[in-house]
Amino acid sequence: MLQQVKKCQFGKQAKELGSTWFADLGPPFGVMYCIKCECIPVQKKRRVVAKVHCRNIKNECPEPSCDSPELLPGRCCKTCPGDTNCE
């Protein structure tokens, strides 16, 4: 029978298996909106452990269709003014 750990530790926070979030490094850096983290199951011998996997999503941003895209607070990707189709 496999033993399973269902939470990831990210700093002082416990994250549920399968959850996703943006990395919060605390002061002075704060939330890194281009770094998306996920709590994933990883099998190690006879156990399944929860592991944090983070990746940079900046290169997944769509190319804005306007001449002067803006980077809004709390976003990773630049968007066109008035564009509501953002992440």
For residue range 6-44, list pLDDT tens digits in order: 789 888 889 999 999 999 988 888 899 999 999 999 988
Residue 2 has pLDDT above 80, yes or no: no
Q: Which domain holds residue 80?
A: 62-86
> Is the same domain home to 6 and 31?
yes
Measured between alpha carbons, how far is 30 from 76 in angstroms, rounded to an integer? 13
Instruction: Please report the pLDDT score of residue 87 as a whole number.
Output: 46
DSSP-assigned beta bridge partners for residue 22: 36
Do 6 and 30 reside in the same domain of the chain?
A: yes
- Looking at the structure, do residues 70 and 35 belong to the same domain, yes or no? no
User: Does the predicted TM-score (pTM) go above 0.85?
Assistant: no
Could you tell me if 44 and 5 lie in one domain?
yes
7 and 25 both lie in a single domain = yes
pLDDT (0 to 100) of residue 27:
85
